[in-house]
Structure 1
């Protein structure tokens, strides 16, 4: 335990803080006032190497602050890495479809998988609409990864390509993936610009540089203090030879890789030979769907061969492309996609979490919703009006938020006390005249039907924008000698709704 004196910015008594030596979450056990203490250093050794704490004492109570803003993100990565390592140590083979965005990752988790991969091929396709040929950047991959990690609670192994540069770039990439929340990262030994697996033109860096990349990744992991799983991939089978890929796999394991992966092995025999390399280090297989170089084996065969992890890189991307093509063909032909080809609207809402959102929304409901139960209400955020029937009929919209205030439409009786027949001026007696404002939707439904003092007509323009600019006094002057019930205005607004104003 560490007892440390803290600098106070004032002459208030300093305090001594007693910390438990927990690396990730130091806790104050007690605080002991020390009067007339001598001021010492304003910084102190924090048990968490990733943050700096500053403490000051004001009137006998201590205030502690940290610069540990990234701790929340990286602690998530640490937790996910533990889950992934537990998975690697458990019996059997583990299957991981590759996702390319938050929605596909959410679907993987909902399908019951224990983990998944990200695919650079898929992210480049979904985000850029471009081939996986080194065009997508580190920043774009990390950004996509952050969105994915926020959508799921299962461990995700991120595609780190070739680290986006030299050994120092690799360190930055690993630290960035840790902050994004990834449980693991795949790093390959290709040159820049890289090429997608199983495609032509692949080249690899020298043996020394390939090993140095993994050492840099291990160093970045140590410096971060979070045990991200490092998957070392070599593309040398296709670029050089099987023998070269086996040699590199052994060397990458010696450099500190947690999982080994040779891409584009061409036979069951080659896959077996690979699994015999560094037998204590788990092996990963990629079952490239649709016609890659590697034989497609079922999970039982892969486990018997010696694999621990299996990636399915194109399944979700491939079926998404075909489904969208089929849907577009149907729409172009004047048809809707067949019901069996897509989930219902209710199923889509459930997948995206609408029902959970509605349940959580109830926790923060306020009494502002009571105002909406009046005859009409107005949403200031989108300049729309609605009647009581609309509110009751729309079960999905229970309340208006505090930031979206409701303007109540009052009945004439509320304003009767303001009637001033004896008042002078151009609007003398206007509050004694009553108007009826009626709005009929283009579908024939009644949207609004209220009676108001004539003097309030200008105020109602915030509710019915179509009345902006109406000369109320001129209308009333023209109707001065008319009997009640005269139509002052009757027109359709830009939305096709019929607006009518009657003099009662």
Structure 2
């Protein structure tokens, strides 16, 4: 986990190694530093910072473009600092035009993420599995991808190009856009929200060999929840499970509050919860104790 005095030398190089591995890389979503640490402690090799979850946790609102780039970068910075594994972050539309993307990429890179994705929605955007999305012209998005490539200082920073055109212009357009974004310099392609297994297979088949592909296993979203083995068979390199941690936390908090409301205390729920000491160990208190002893002075 992200110790206070140590960390990996290059999470970006590590992410590229993982993507080149034999099977799809599984990236559970994290919406804050604590959920990121839990993902890492569960044994996963990468953390995905969800924009949906970031919006819900920071302001308690839906993912409809209400957060600024600065708020998203700030969350990415905290998450990247909390873990040693690579972090892939949602960067929405880049928060403006191609010139804005220059600053967005620099800010995310300075925040310590190993990768980020940019999408071709009109700003402000909507969650990719909501209705009412709009997309910018493909040529404008090509310019934004080119700007992102020019902005990064570390060539290992992974740039993922996402298209939301399938729901707006159809799957043919989405696949064509993805190919154009790869030609513009995107490292990985992300066709958002195909709505059938046949469409998923078409994306994989027609973009095979163009660039590594993302599959967004959005919990409860519009894309069919196909098994991981099938995703691997189709050739996807990265699988996002963006909001399961958020939904689980919501269910757990609701359950605890229902017990408290009904009983007057949370005592009946306590056996299902981490102990106080167990939780403080989980978030790094033993390390703090060791550092206090180390730097106590003579």
Q: Does 1:305 align with 2:234?
A: yes
Higher RCO, 1 vs 2 (CA within 8 Å, ≥6 residues apart) = 2
Deviation at 1:226, TM superposition (A): 4.0
Q: C-alpha separation between the residues in 2 aligned to 1:186 and 1:195?
A: 15
Q: C-alpha separation between the residues in 2 aligned to 1:236 and 1:162?
A: 13
Could you say which residue in structure 1 is the equivalent of 2:248?
319
Q: Does 1:275 align with 2:204?
A: yes
Q: Point out the more displaced range, 351-360 or 168-177.
A: 351-360
Name the count of aligned residue pairs: 289
Deviation at 1:349, TM superposition (A): 1.1
Deviation at 1:338, TM superposition (A): 1.6
Larger of the two Rg values belongs to structure:
1
Displaced runs of 4 or more, over 3 A: none
Q: C-alpha separation between the residues in 2 aligned to 1:150 and 1:192?
A: 28
Where do residues 425-464 of structure 1 align in structure 2 (5 Å cutoff)? none
Q: C-alpha separation between the residues in 2 aligned to 1:133 and 1:255?
A: 27
Q: Does 1:285 align with 2:285?
A: no
Q: Does 1:343 align with 2:274?
A: yes
Could you say which residue in structure 1 is the equivalent of 2:3?
none
Deviation at 1:248, TM superposition (A): 0.6
Where 1:338 maps in the other structure, the secondary structure is helix
Where 2:10 maps in the other structure, the secondary structure is helix
Where 1:276 maps in the other structure, the secondary structure is helix
Where do residues 250-399 of structure 1 align in structure 2 (5 Å cutoff)? 250-280=179-209, 281-289=211-219, 291-333=220-262, 334-336=264-266, 337-366=268-297
Question: Which 5+ residue runs of structure 1 have no aligned equivalent?
Answer: 1-75, 368-504
TM-score by length of 2: 0.93
Residue by residue, what CA displacement relative to the aligned partner does 1:351-371 show, whole Å, maximum 9, x if unpaired? Answer: 11112211222112246xxxx
Deviation at 1:189, TM superposition (A): 0.1
Could you say which residue in structure 2 is the equivalent of 1:442?
none
More strand per residue: 1 or 2?
1
Deviation at 1:161, TM superposition (A): 0.0
Q: Does 1:217 align with 2:148?
A: yes
TM-score by length of 1: 0.56
Where 2:92 maps in the other structure, the secondary structure is coil
1:122 to 53, 71, 77: 53
Could you say which residue in structure 2 is the equivalent of 1:203?
134
Q: C-alpha separation between the residues in 1 aligned to 2:78 and 2:173?
A: 37
Where 2:161 maps in the other structure, the secondary structure is strand
Q: C-alpha separation between the residues in 2 aligned to 1:238 and 1:350?
A: 45
Q: C-alpha separation between the residues in 1 aligned to 2:62 and 2:86?
A: 26
Q: Point out the more displaced range, 257-266 or 334-343.
A: 334-343
Could you say which residue in structure 2 is the equivalent of 1:475?
none
Q: Does 1:233 align with 2:162?
A: yes
Q: C-alpha separation between the residues in 2 aligned to 1:258 and 1:277?
A: 17
CA contact (8 A) 1:77 1:183 kept: no
Where do residues 464-475 of structure 1 align in structure 2 (5 Å cutoff)? none
Deviation at 1:277, TM superposition (A): 3.0
CA contact (8 A) 2:175 2:207 kept: no
More helix per residue: 1 or 2?
2
CA contact (8 A) 1:323 1:341 kept: no
1:187 to 118, 123, 126: 118
Question: Which 5+ residue runs of structure 2 have no aligned equivalent?
Answer: 1-6
Q: Does 1:176 align with 2:176?
A: no
Where 2:202 maps in the other structure, the secondary structure is helix
Could you say which residue in structure 1 is the equivalent of 2:4?
none
Deviation at 1:77, TM superposition (A): 9.9
CA contact (8 A) 1:142 1:180 kept: yes
Deviation at 1:335, TM superposition (A): 3.4
Could you say which residue in structure 2 is the equivalent of 1:85?
16
Where 2:239 maps in the other structure, the secondary structure is strand
Where 1:178 maps in the other structure, the secondary structure is helix
Q: Does 1:153 align with 2:84?
A: yes
